[in-house]
Amino acid sequence: MISITGASGQLGRKIVSALTQRGFGSAIVAGTRNPEKIGDLAEGGIRTVTADFDRPETMRAAFSGADVALIICGTAPVEARVKQHRAAIDAARDAGVGRLVYTSFINPKRESLFPYAAVHEDSERYLMDSGVPYTILRNNHFVENLDNALVGAWETGSLTLPGAAGKVGYIFRRDVAEATATVLTQPGHANRIYELTGPEALDLHEVAGLASQVWGRAVTASELDRVDYGRILAERGLPPFAVEAQIGIRLASGAGEYDLLSPQAALFAGRALGRVADHLAAFCAEQNKRGE
């Protein structure tokens, strides 16, 4: 049995899909805080359960009988998330999970400019000390996280974010999902740490140059002040802790914290990974479709 938390999220859904396509649909237990959000998965034959980080009894039930379980990191503030992840790891240990897989992030160090790095550092250490066989997947930035900035670039010709000069090994969610599905279903990954990155490290100036080529219109990149970026995020309705995290991740990007490249995601996916230019082409097609 393969138990997955956070199955209603964008990454969780893609992992469920990747496992189903490989013939593991009947083995999946898809957990989320509100199972009604994944009613479509239940209709498709996937077993769905409540898995709430703040209710350890639901986590133990979700993990019960699991040969391997996946904890997709939560979205709470730092202190709350540390407690939630520790409780989830305890629940997996108490449920007798055969191996626990955790979605971490590149450069999980407390001194990082990204506030959530402290969560990942703590969760990794707690998991390694738990006695449960583990696999840690350190994902790099999802290329899809650029989409809001790309909308602005499409409309104005200016790609603006903090940390514009920092190189990042952007990776597609679908590629992380495929790599994760391999790690969940293959033997030989116990007590390993893997870095999942895209095939190239680009700064925003290079992304803008690719956008100019792919879109057939001039795009340039520039540095966005952190205060202005925070104001934009707040206007989108993000809570203060999330605003701080998003500012931090961009500042960490500018500081070169995410320029690492690794072949592991491509090896696990079993194919070449998507490149930023591919995402820009798909984005262009979508925008043109909307404009019709």
Residue 58 within a domain = yes
Residue 117 and residue 152 in contact, taking contact as beta carbons nearer than 8 Å? no
- Cα–Cα distance measured from residue 47 to residue 143, given in angstroms and rounded to the nearest whole number: 30
Query: In this predicted structure, what is the pLDDT of residue 167?
Result: 98
Tens of pLDDT, residue by residue, the chain (292 residues): 999 999 999 999 999 999 999 999 999 999 999 999 999 999 999 999 999 999 999 999 999 999 999 999 988 899 999 999 999 999 999 999 999 999 999 999 999 999 999 999 999 999 999 999 999 999 999 999 999 999 999 999 999 999 999 999 999 999 999 999 999 999 999 999 999 999 999 999 999 999 999 999 999 999 999 999 999 999 999 999 999 999 999 999 999 999 999 999 999 999 999 999 999 999 999 998 886 5
Residue 8 within a domain = yes
Residue 89 within a domain = yes
Residue 77 within a domain = yes
The set of residues, in sequence order, having a beta carbon less than 8 Å from that of 145 and lying 6+ positions away, is none
CATH number at residue 125: 3.40.50.720
Query: In this predicted structure, what is the pLDDT of residue 292?
Result: 59
**3-state secondary structure at position 21:** helix
Query: In this predicted structure, what is the pLDDT of residue 190?
Result: 96
Residue 153 within a domain = no
Residue 273 and residue 171 in contact, taking contact as beta carbons nearer than 8 Å? yes
- Cα–Cα distance measured from residue 150 to residue 247, given in angstroms and rounded to the nearest whole number: 17
Query: In this predicted structure, what is the pLDDT of residue 289?
Result: 83
Residue 210 within a domain = no
Domain total in the chain: 1
**3-state secondary structure at position 168:** strand
End-to-end CA distance of the chain: 46
Write down the pTM of the prediction: 0.95
Show the domain range for 29. Answer: 2-140+171-196
Residue 108 within a domain = yes
Residue 213 within a domain = no
**3-state secondary structure at position 102:** strand
- Cα–Cα distance measured from residue 180 to residue 185, given in angstroms and rounded to the nearest whole number: 9
